């Protein structure tokens, strides 16, 4: 079992109560949550409306999830808990561009709009915020570690290049663009972030070390 799987299993989600629910029912309920979040937003979504949309009894919903944050948290895990394989295109730039394209695709999708709305609620609910962080950020760290490891093996970056800084800057740029600048998350933006920010950031330390060694030799 990987650290990512352990982290997601350890999320502080409400334990199901009552009879066990089948995978199909769980999927339908989680899908209903995302549909309603996209239509009316977190604050206006009700657990009764989820039951109606999923064609489940209200008793099933309330018996299984004690509150709305717990229900939304499980829907987040269901939708975003899996971690895709890291790209391996043969170059650092190709790998980061593939990852950036993936991130922009999600951000531009209806699911991305739902995530943006849930962020406001997550700021008021620590448990929901923890789940959101695990599903969309912490559990994906392994992708960045793999990209750095592959690039280091090819001699493109130092082995101690920081995957956390890479991860933090990339997603900060996307969220700033989406929430504050309100500019399009298009291919041009993706290339700008990769070529002008992320690759120079990852290679900066190696250049710094070379300059430092040269200065000592003078």
Do 137 and 38 fall within a single domain? no
- The model's pLDDT over 15-53, given as tens digits with 9 standing for 90+, comes to 444 434 577 888 999 999 999 999 999 999 999 999 999
Q: Measure the CA–CA gap between 113 and 39, rounded to whole angstroms.
A: 10
The residue among 40, 60, 80 that closes a domain is 80
Do 160 and 122 fall within a single domain? yes
Buried b (16+ CB within 10 A) or exposed e, 55-65: ebeeebbbebb
Residue 142 lies in a domain: yes
Which residues form the domain of 46? 3-80
Residue 85 lies in a domain: no
* Residue with tokens 């920010």, as numbered in its chain: 197
Do 199 and 146 fall within a single domain? yes
Q: Measure the CA–CA gap between 198 and 11, rounded to whole angstroms.
A: 30
What total of structural domains would you count in the chain? Answer: 2
Do 54 and 154 fall within a single domain? no
Q: Measure the CA–CA gap between 108 and 173, rounded to whole angstroms.
A: 14
Span of 7-11, 134-138, 180-184, 212-216 with lowest mean pLDDT: 212-216
The residue among 29, 45, 80 that closes a domain is 80
H-helix or E-strand spanning residue 104: helix 92-107
Do 179 and 200 fall within a single domain? yes
Do 104 and 175 fall within a single domain? yes
Residue 86 lies in a domain: no
Work out whether the CA dihedral 21, 25, 26, 30 comes out positive or negative: negative
Q: What is the CATH number of the domain that holds 23?
A: 1.10.10.60
Do 124 and 205 fall within a single domain? yes
Rg value, the chain, Cα: 21
pLDDT at 205: 57
pLDDT at 214: 42
Do 154 and 63 fall within a single domain? no
- The model's pLDDT over 88-132, given as tens digits with 9 standing for 90+, comes to 999 999 999 999 999 999 999 999 999 988 998 898 999 899 998
- pTM of the full predicted structure? 0.78
Closest to 103 measured CA to CA, from 45, 65, 95, 30: 95
Does 6 score more than 80 pLDDT? no
């Amino acid at each position: 079992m990987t650290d990512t799987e352990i982290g997601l299993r350890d999320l502080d989600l409400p334990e199901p109560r009552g009879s066990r629910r089948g995978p199909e029912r769980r999927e339908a309920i989680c899908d209903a949550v995302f549909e309603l979040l996209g239509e009316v937003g977190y604050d206006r979504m009700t657990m009764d409306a989820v039951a109606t949309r999923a064609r489940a009894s209200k008793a099933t919903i309330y018996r299984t999830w004690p509150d709305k944050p717990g229900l939304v948290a499980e829907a987040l895990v269901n939708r975003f808990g899996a971690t895709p394989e890291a790209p391996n295109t043969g170059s650092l730039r190709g790998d980061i561009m593939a990852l950036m394209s993936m991130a922009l695709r999600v951000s531009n999708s209806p699911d991305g709009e739902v995530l943006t709305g849930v962020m406001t609620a997550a700021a008021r609910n620590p448990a929901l915020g923890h789940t959101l962080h695990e599903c969309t950020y912490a559990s994906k760290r392994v992708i960045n570690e793999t990209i750095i490891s592959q690039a280091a093996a090819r001699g493109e970056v130092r082995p101690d290049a920081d995957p956390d800084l890479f991860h933090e800057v990339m997603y900060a740029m996307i969220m700033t663009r989406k929430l504050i600048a309100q500019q399009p998350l298009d291919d041009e933006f993706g290339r700008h972030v990769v070529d002008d920010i992320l690759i120079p950031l990852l290679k900066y330390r190696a250049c710094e070390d070379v300059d430092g060694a040269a200065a000592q030799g003078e």
